[in-house]
């Protein structure tokens, strides 16, 4: 029986973090936690991407700024897989407002203002599924078994003479 806590989430490293050269530092935090990256790409979100992604915020006062910001430059879009990855990755990111984020979280360490808070993460299984589908085709996601740190050693580690 599959572990119900094993899930996938969408994470975006936002344009401000890409511009500041923080991509490697942010990715390494998720990898060090043990989450597997099963999809990743650098892309410049289109208006269509942004509108689909932030559809739940239409009509809110910050919507236009959010759309303008996320389409300002490239993002790193990722799909992470792991046990309780949605909840844990959001805790790693910290609250939306970096001024309120706990020390040691990504937003506390790398962001200064709420409008440029370096990273996005899905807040539920449903949001993760919707957001993953906006940025990735199913064939662009890899099986976590092939992303296992020992996979290649087990497969190719023997020497034939």
- In a domain, residue 161? The reply is no
List, in sequence order, every residue forming a beta bridge with 41; answer none if it has no partner: 77
The pLDDT of 132-159, averaged and rounded, is 75
pTM for this entry: 0.88
- In a domain, residue 40? The reply is yes
What are the Cα distances from residue 148, in Å, to 4, 7, 95, 125, 154?
20, 16, 30, 23, 10
Q: SS3 of 100, please?
A: coil
The pLDDT of 145-158, averaged and rounded, is 60
- In a domain, residue 1? The reply is no
Rounded CA-CA distance 1/67 in Å is 41
Q: Which of 49, 53, 57, 120 is catalytic?
A: 120
- In a domain, residue 79? The reply is yes
Total of domains in the chain: 1
Candidate from 27-41, 59-73, 143-157 with smallest mean pLDDT: 143-157
Does the pLDDT of residue 30 top 50, yes or no? yes
Backbone angles phi, psi at 21, to 5 degrees: 75, 35
For position 1, what pLDDT does the model report?
38
CATH of the domain at 147: 3.30.70.141
119-121 and 75-83 beta bridge pairing: unpaired
Q: Which structural domain, as residue segments, surrounds residue 93?
A: 6-156
The pLDDT of 72-91, averaged and rounded, is 97
- In a domain, residue 38? The reply is yes
Does the pLDDT of residue 145 top 90, yes or no? no
As a whole number, the mean pLDDT across the chain is: 91
91-133 residue pLDDT tens: 999 999 999 999 999 999 999 999 999 999 999 999 999 999 9
- In a domain, residue 109? The reply is yes
How much of the chain, in percent, has pLDDT values that exceed 70? 86
- In a domain, residue 115? The reply is yes
- In a domain, residue 120? The reply is yes
Whether 120 is catalytic is yes
């Amino acid at each position: 029986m599959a572990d119900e806590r094993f899930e996938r989430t969408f994470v975006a490293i936002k344009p401000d973090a890409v511009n500041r050269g923080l991509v490697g530092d942010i990715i390494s935090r998720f990898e060090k936690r043990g989450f597997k990256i099963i999809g990743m790409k650098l892309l410049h979100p289109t208006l269509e991407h942004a509108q689909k992604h932030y559809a739940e915020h239409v009509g809110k006062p910050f919507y236009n700024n959010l759309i303008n910001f996320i389409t300002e430059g490239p993002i790193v879009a990722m799909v992470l897989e792991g046990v309780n990855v949605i909840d844990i990755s959001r805790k790693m990111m910290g609250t939306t407002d970096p001024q309120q984020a706990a020390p040691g979280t990504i937003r506390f360490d790398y962001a200064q203002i709420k409008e440029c808070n370096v990273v996005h993460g899905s807040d539920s299984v449903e949001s993760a599924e919707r957001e993953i589908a906006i940025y990735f085709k199913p064939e662009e996601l890899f099986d976590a078994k092939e992303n296992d740190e020992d996979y290649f050693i087990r497969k190719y580690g023997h020497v034939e003479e």
